[in-house]
Structure 1
């Protein structure tokens, strides 16, 4: 399994032309603003602040790339659904994410992060439906599980599953605070990464410096 702790920040891309060469699989992370995406990423790689967390929604405005173990890219996508940024900014983010998901040949999986405490939001359903339409692999992760009792976790997860037409095996219940679901997340992402065939550096592509 991939050692996600061997990670380093690589670059921030504000346009598709700035992406690193597709020499490793991409695992992208998407979610509504303030859903716990940064905290999940930090827990995944066992760092406290590799990915900057903020109480201000809309902080991530680029595709932020992290290199794991010289074998995998983690990609932090801009949060969606935050109304307090300009329409032009939202359209810019949406266009960048759309172009990335539809053209990145080495995209192995999109992790769709959803707050377990709340009912399913329309934007989350639309994202999952869109990924299904594109036949893009995705993994729903229900975050902030530590805020709920075990019984309430199961009840809320079942409601989200029904709204997204999923089974319990299709998603992960996760807490960045307690580490609940962490082993399963690492295992599933390692499997997605292995599913992508890439051209190693030095065999057709120039790796980023």
Structure 2
């Protein structure tokens, strides 16, 4: 297991500029740019918005809501005017109407199938919870789409070190992965930022890093 949960470190990669581009409720609204993209996915309330803000070193660029299921479109953020980080709608929000969930699913399906700019998906899981059937389905869905997937366990600061290590092993077993394939992160503490960026840059800007894409699972 990586010791990325021990303390925050400043990566060599610098965020010079980060801005919200647009929110797309339909595929014809996706940005018409050929920039490479990394999409972030996960259950509602897994901490996507907070983790994106941590990665981008911006406190309020991505709106954080106390109400699960508020992200109802695909939100695009430009980074250093060279690639996009993409916030996908959270899945698993039971109170959302069935028609709305179906609409979200179709939007994500179209994004995965029609977006050659998409280079990698970051799947966020709460380290305190065992992966649900929906989490397993999402991982399979993303891999079947032919896109590499990076599994990141969020909210690591909520557990003591030994509990974190135990839970990483448990989650990895449930996902049928090696524990080293799961990165550990905390948006509140800044843990995992360097490791996540190192993996993402291997796909978004391979000429800028010599690092191997730690934890990134190849497409199924």
The normalised TM-score by structure 2 is 0.85
Per the alignment, residue 129 of structure 1 pairs with 140
Per the alignment, residue 62 of structure 2 pairs with 51
Deviation, structure 1 residue 192: 1.6
Deviation, structure 1 residue 5: 5.0
Deviation, structure 1 residue 125: 0.6
1:60 paired to 2:67: no
Per the alignment, residue 98 of structure 2 pairs with 87
3-state DSSP of counterpart to 2:143: helix
1:61-106 CA distances to partner (integer Å, 9 max, x unpaired)? 1010000011110110100000111111111001000110111111
Per the alignment, residue 128 of structure 2 pairs with 117
Per the alignment, residue 51 of structure 2 pairs with 40
Per the alignment, residue 150 of structure 1 pairs with 161
Which 4+ runs in 1 deviate beyond 4 A? Answer: none
Conserved 8 A contact 1:12-1:63:
yes
Per the alignment, residue 200 of structure 1 pairs with none
Per the alignment, residue 216 of structure 2 pairs with none
Question: How many Å separate the matches in 2 of 1:44 and 1:68?
Answer: 10
The number of equivalent residue pairs is 196
Per the alignment, residue 202 of structure 1 pairs with none
Distance 1:4 1:171, change over 3 A: farther
Gaps of 5+ in 2: 1-11, 208-220
Question: How many Å separate the matches in 2 of 1:102 and 1:192?
Answer: 18
Gaps of 5+ in 1: 197-209
Aligned-residue Cα RMSD (Å) equals 1.4
The normalised TM-score by structure 1 is 0.90
Match of 2:27 among 16, 19, 35: 16
Per the alignment, residue 182 of structure 1 pairs with 193
Match of 1:106 among 112, 117, 121: 117
1:45-65 CA distances to partner (integer Å, 9 max, x unpaired)? 011110000110111010100
1:1-56 CA distances to partner (integer Å, 9 max, x unpaired)? 65335211101100000001241001101000000100000000011110000110
Deviation, structure 1 residue 166: 1.2
